[in-house]
Structure 1
Amino acid sequence: MAKVKVKQEEALSIKFSHQMEVGHQRTFDLFFYLPTEMGVGEKTLDEEEYYHSAMLGRRSYYSKGLHLPLVQNRFVSINKRTKEEFRFYLNLFAYQFAVAIETDAKEVRQLTEAEEFYPALTELGQSVAQLLKKFRRNEPSEEKWQSYFANADNYLSWFCEQQLLKTLAYRPRNAAYKEEKEQIIALCRAEHHYREEERKYNSAGTKQDANRISNKMLLLRRLIQQGVVLKEELKPLGIGLKKFVTGLATTLVMLVVSALIIKAQGVFSGLTMSLIVTLAIIYGFREIFKEDVRNALWRFIQRGRPRWSRVLKDTTTQTVIAKQLVWLDFTHPQDIPKAVAEIMKQRHSQNKVDAEVLHYRIATKVTNKEFEAGYSQIQEQVNFSLVPFARHLERGKAKIYKEQDGKVSNESVERRYQVNLVAVLKDGKGPLEYARYKVVMSRSNIIEITRSKLPGDLLEMGD
Structure 2
Amino acid sequence: MLTVEKRPGNNIKITNISSKISYQNLELYFFIPLDLKLSSQNLSEQELYHTYLNTKHTYFEESNAIKELTGSIEYNDQKSIEKYRLNLSLNAYQYSLALEREVADLIELIKSPSGQTEDSIIEDDSESISLLNKVQGLVTLINNFLTQFRKNKPQRNKALRFYQNTDNYISWLTEQKIIELILCIQNKDIFFDLEDMLLDLCKSESQYRKVNNYNSTESENDINRISNKMRLLRKLIEYPVTLNKTIIPLGKRTEKIVKGSATAIIMLFVSYFLIEARDFFNNITVLLIFVISVIYAFREVLKEDLNVYLRKLIRKGKPNWKTLLYDSNSSNLLGTKLEWLEVIKYDALPFSIKEMRKRSISQKESTIIKYRRLMQIFPSNFLIGYKKSREIFDINMNFLTNSMEKGTKIVFTRQQNEVVKHNVDKRYTINLISKISDNHNNDLIQRWKIIMNKDQILDVQEITF
Q: Normalising by structure 2, what TM-score? A: 0.78
Contact (CA 8 Å) 2:73, 2:87: kept in 1 or not?
no
Letter in 2 for 1:251: A
Equivalent residue runs for 1:14-413 within 5 Å: 14-64=12-62, 71-79=65-73, 83=79, 87-99=85-97, 113=116, 115=118, 133-138=143-148, 139=150, 140-143=152-155, 146-159=160-173, 190-195=204-209, 197-202=210-215, 217=230, 219-266=232-279, 270-348=283-361, 351=362, 353-369=364-380, 371-401=382-412, 410-413=421-424
Q: Which amino acid aligns with 1:75?
A: L
Greater alpha carbon shift after TM alignment, 368-377 vs 141-150: 141-150
Q: 1:395 to 1:294 in 2, by over 3 A?
A: farther
Corresponding residue for residue 461 of structure 1: none
Q: Give, in angstroms, the shift of residue 49 of structure 1.
A: 0.9
Instruction: Extract unaligned runs of 5+ from structure 1.
Output: 455-463
Are the equivalent residues in 2 in contact too, given 1:396–1:412 (CA < 8 A)? no
Which deviates the most, 42-51 or 243-252? 243-252
Secondary structure in structure 2 of the residue aligned to 1:227: helix
Change (3 A) 1:346 1:114: closer
* C-alpha contact 1:78 1:89 (8 A) present in aligned 2: no
**Which has the higher mean CA deviation after the structures are superposed, 236-245 or 406-415?**
406-415
Which residue matches 2:442? Answer: 431
Instruction: Provide the secondary structure at the position in 2 that maps to 1:450.
Output: strand
Deviates more, 1:79-88 or 1:247-256: 79-88
- Aligned pairs (5 A) from 1:443-454: 443-453=454-464
How many residue pairs are counted as aligned between the two chains?
A: 438
Name the aligned partner's letter for residue 155 of structure 2. Answer: E
- Structure 1 residue 367 displacement after superposition: 0.7
* 1:292-328 alpha-carbon deviations (Å, 9 max, x no partner): 3222222222221111111111111111111111111
CA contact (8 A) 1:28 1:424 kept: yes
For residues 89-144 of structure 1, what are the alpha-carbon distances to aligned partners after superposition, in whole Å with 9 as ceiling and x for unaligned?
Answer: 4212322344566678899799984516999xx99998996665333311215535
Q: Distance in 2 between matches of 1:315 and 1:216?
A: 22
1:241 is displaced (CA, Å) by 0.8
* Residue identity opposite 1:366 in structure 2: I
Q: Residues of 1 paired with 2:50 and 2:195: CA distance?
A: 40
Q: Which AA in structure 2 matches 1:431?
A: N
What is the alpha-carbon distance in structure 2 between the residues aligned to residue 192 and residue 200 of structure 1? 11
The AA in structure 2 aligned to 1:62 is F
CA distance in 1, matches of 2:196, 2:281: 90
What is the Cα deviation at residue 272 of structure 1?
4.0
Give 2:376's aligned amino acid: K
Compared with structure 1, are the counterparts of its residues 163 and 237 closer, same or farther at alpha carbon in structure 2 (3 Å cutoff)? farther
> Matched residue of 1:305: which SS?
coil
* Cα 1:403–1:204 shift into 2, 3 Å: closer
Give the stretch that moved more between structures: 306-315 or 211-220: 211-220
Summarize the Cα distance change of 1:152–1:63 in structure 2 as closer, same or farther, 3 Å threshold: same
Per mean C-alpha deviation after superposition, the further-off stretch among 291-300 and 229-238 is: 291-300
Change (3 A) 1:71 1:105: closer
TM-score with structure 1 length normalisation?
0.78
Q: 1:266 to 1:313 in 2, by over 3 A?
A: same
Deviations 1:20-71 (A, max 9, x none): 2334311111111222222112122211111111112111111115xxxx63
Q: Distance in 2 between matches of 1:192 and 1:277?
A: 81
Taking only aligned residues, the RMSD between alpha carbons, in angstroms, comes to 4.1
Report the secondary structure of 1:221's partner residue: helix
Amino acid paired to 2:168: N
Contact 1:21 1:366 in 2 (8 A): no
Q: Is the 8 A contact 2:71 2:91 kept in 1?
A: no
Aligned partner of 1:457 in structure 2 is: none
Q: Is the 8 A contact 1:231 1:315 kept in 2?
A: yes
SS at match of 2:170: helix
Q: Following TM superposition, by how much is the alpha carbon of 1:386 offset from its aligned partner in structure 2, in angstroms?
A: 1.8
The amino acid that maps onto 1:393 is M
Contact 1:246 1:294 in 2 (8 A): yes
- 1:115 alignment partner AA: E
- CA displacement at 1:8 relative to structure 2: 2.4
8 A contact 1:23–1:369 mirrored in 2: no
In 2 relative to 1, CA 51–103 (structure 1 residues): closer, same or farther, beyond 3 Å?
Answer: farther
Q: Specify the SS of the correspondent of 2:241.
A: coil
**Distance (whole Å) between structure 2 residues aligned to residue 130 and residue 285 of structure 1:** 78
Over the matched positions of the two proteins, sequence identity in percent amounts to: 26
